[in-house]
Structure 1
């Protein structure tokens, strides 16, 4: 699933660099969903998806997660000092991630 997610982020970012920012915000949710939701049966899918929603998608949980992600983004990019460089940085980030995935 992670490879599919990364490839989807890469292709969408190359179409529109703003998707990369969205992907950074949504990635912790993807990781928790991927680790918690079971697809062994429809019943398991339903039960585990509802439990995941309760545990990971409430506003008190989402607020600090998004805030921490935005802090990380502000430290790792030039979004605050030179936002005009962000499209280039987004494309570079997905290219590096794609290269790393190809090496493993």
Structure 2
């Protein structure tokens, strides 16, 4: 799943660099979904998806996750000091994964 996620992020980022920022924000949700949701059966998929939604997609859970992600983004990129460099950083981030 991680490989598919990375391919999708690369594809979409190459179309629009802003998707890279969105992918950074949603990555923790993707990882928690991968860990928690089971596809063993339809019933289990439904049940574990509902549990995941209740645990990870409520505002009290989303707020700190998004804030931590944005804090990390502001520390590791030039988004605050020189946002004009962000498109280049996004393209570099998705193309360097292939190396």
- Do both proteins adopt the same fold according to a TM-score greater than 0.5, normalized to the shorter chain? yes
2:80 is matched with which residue? 80
Aligned counterparts, 1:39-54, within 5 A = 39-54=39-54
Aligned-residue CA RMSD (Å): 0.6
TM-score under structure 2 normalisation? 0.98
Structure 2, unaligned runs of 5 or more: none
The alignment of Structure 1 onto Structure 2 pairs a total of residues equal to: 99
2:32 is matched with which residue? 32
TM-score under structure 1 normalisation? 0.93
TM-superposed CA distance for 1:47, in Å, is 0.3
Deviations 1:32-86 (A, max 9, x none): 0011100111000000000000010010000000000000000111000000000
Q: Are positions 1:8 and 2:17 aligned together?
A: no
